Structure 1
């Protein structure tokens, strides 16, 4: 992969790490992933924004309760998030954490059943976010410092 330009996507922490560790099988956006990137390997970049303790605490509470399905995280994420809650500084920021193959996007309501949720019966489906499957994760160790950007941007490993 060295030298070739790779499209990168900036994701805030802890979600970037959750993707790279395989605990978050979908990235959610308000728009479908570009057709040109579906089936392609993209870099996952952890944004510079500090980890928000309230967001981590909320995910932990939901994962422990009946609303676990609303996180769209695998149950194994709980132990990781509890470590992050105690030491948020363990998560790298402004770094490329790894790469993943981007799948064909689906509406969020199409995937909630995977997590034990109920199917959306709203008449406002058009307002639902897009779920982008991420698979074939390859973690980069150590993570590589990089400035991010909104949307997809070019990264040269």
Structure 2
């Protein structure tokens, strides 16, 4: 991503749910990426349009229950909803380490060390959430929020109390980029990998979280299609104009389109989710569909003359 070295006025990152809400609500302290954090300071968090399924939500909630329990925190309160296609709030990026370094950093809580699941770990503090999430489309990588949007968003922020407040210490307080890959081994040469005794529940939760987290790893800069509403997910996935690579809207009818993974409804309580079903949810659906196709072919072949007249 060639824009990583640039500076942003109002940097924003689009993330999938449930990770986006978990970060803004102060439960998630580490944002995992395949590339190092290109900035320090405030980072706006936007929830992508892909609706998370129940299994993914459960896997991540179970993961955080288990790793917080290692530090004695057992009363986690998870978000009631995981809205999509919304600007949710912001956090402060204070550093970035490789996973191997994070697991060796004894100066942070054990649960934080267990949270590193990807190559690069962005260290996040000071979560703030929007009282009213703002509907918007996202983009790939880190991008700038429009000035008017960011100004409006700042006025709607409220601080969030993390379940286990703490601060990542900078090796050099005068240099915001001093906490970077390689800095921990220099500052704490005696650091060792985490040796916490993992229970079967913790091991299972970590394995499930890894599977859930890496499901998008090969699609970092590709596109994901919208999904169906799921438990405690707010969604008004309205059709919108797709964008081309230059960021300008195509002049074409509104359609449901794929949305980027590094990506992109304010749900009113008066709206209820309609029941949706996928063809794959029914084990007999493929056979029924195949039978229907065969029936159509048979009907068309019964009387070719009639078929020709009908045309």
Calculate the TM-score normalised by the size of structure 2. Answer: 0.37
Q: CA RMSD in A?
A: 3.1
Which secondary structure does the structure 2 equivalent of 1:103 belong to? strand
Aligned to 1:94: 85
Quick one: distance in 2 between partners of 1:135 and 1:116? 15
Which secondary structure does the structure 1 equivalent of 2:138 belong to? coil
With over 3 angstroms needed to count, the CA separation of the structure-2 counterparts of 1:76 and 1:94, relative to structure 1, is farther
Cα deviation for residue 6 of structure 1 reads 1.0
Count of aligned pairs? 132
The runs of 5 or more residues in structure 2 that have no matched partner are 1-7, 150-311
Pair member with larger Rg: 2
Cα deviation for residue 57 of structure 1 reads 2.2
Which secondary structure does the structure 2 equivalent of 1:104 belong to? strand
The answer to whether residue 107 in structure 2 is matched with residue 106 in structure 1 is: no
The answer to whether residue 35 in structure 2 is matched with residue 31 in structure 1 is: yes
With over 3 angstroms needed to count, the CA separation of the structure-2 counterparts of 1:117 and 1:152, relative to structure 1, is closer
Which secondary structure does the structure 2 equivalent of 1:32 belong to? coil
Which secondary structure does the structure 2 equivalent of 1:56 belong to? helix
Aligned to 2:133: 143
Calculate the TM-score normalised by the size of structure 1. Answer: 0.69
The one of the two structures with greater contact order (alpha-carbon pairs below 8 A, sep at least 6) is 1
With over 3 angstroms needed to count, the CA separation of the structure-2 counterparts of 1:79 and 1:108, relative to structure 1, is same
Aligned to 1:57: 58
Structure 2 counterparts to residues 113-152 of structure 1, below 5 A: 114-116=109-111, 129-152=119-142
The answer to whether residue 15 in structure 2 is matched with residue 15 in structure 1 is: no
